[in-house]
């Protein structure tokens, strides 16, 4: 099927609205909590939906555009 332009190769990226964030998550980008009630990003691998990860917006953006030199 069609692929969202915001998604990387095999990952579906979903936006979680503040009202949808009913619990805290650990962001793998910065290893800090995403408090409940905070809008964020969830990345769901197509091949392994159970391995979805929750990211801060800023951390996801940095991950997606991270320069090799960094």
x-or-dash pattern for Zn ion, window 29-68, by CB under 5 A? xx-------------------------x--x---------
Shortest distance, position 29 Cβ to Zn ion, whole Å? 4
Residue 41's H or E segment, with its range, is strand 40-45
Query: Of 6-14, 27-35, 38-46, 61-69, which segment contacts Zn ion by CB under 5 A?
Result: 27-35
Residue 27 interacting with Zn ion (CB under 5 A): yes
Half-sphere exposure of 14 (CA within 13 A, CB side): 13
Sign of CA dihedral 38, 28, 70, 12: negative
Separation between Cα atoms, residue 30 and residue 48, nearest integer Å: 22
User: Which residues of this protein are in contact with Zn ion, per CB under 5 A?
Assistant: 27, 29-30, 56, 59
């Amino acid at each position: 099927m069609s692929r969202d332009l915001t998604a990387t190769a095999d990952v579906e990226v979903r936006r979680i609205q503040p009202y949808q964030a009913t619990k805290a998550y650990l962001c793998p980008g910065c290893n800090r909590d995403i408090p409940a009630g905070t809008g964020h990003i969830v990345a769901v691998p197509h091949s392994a939906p159970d391995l979805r990860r929750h990211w801060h917006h800023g951390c996801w953006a940095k991950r997606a555009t991270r320069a090799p030199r960094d």
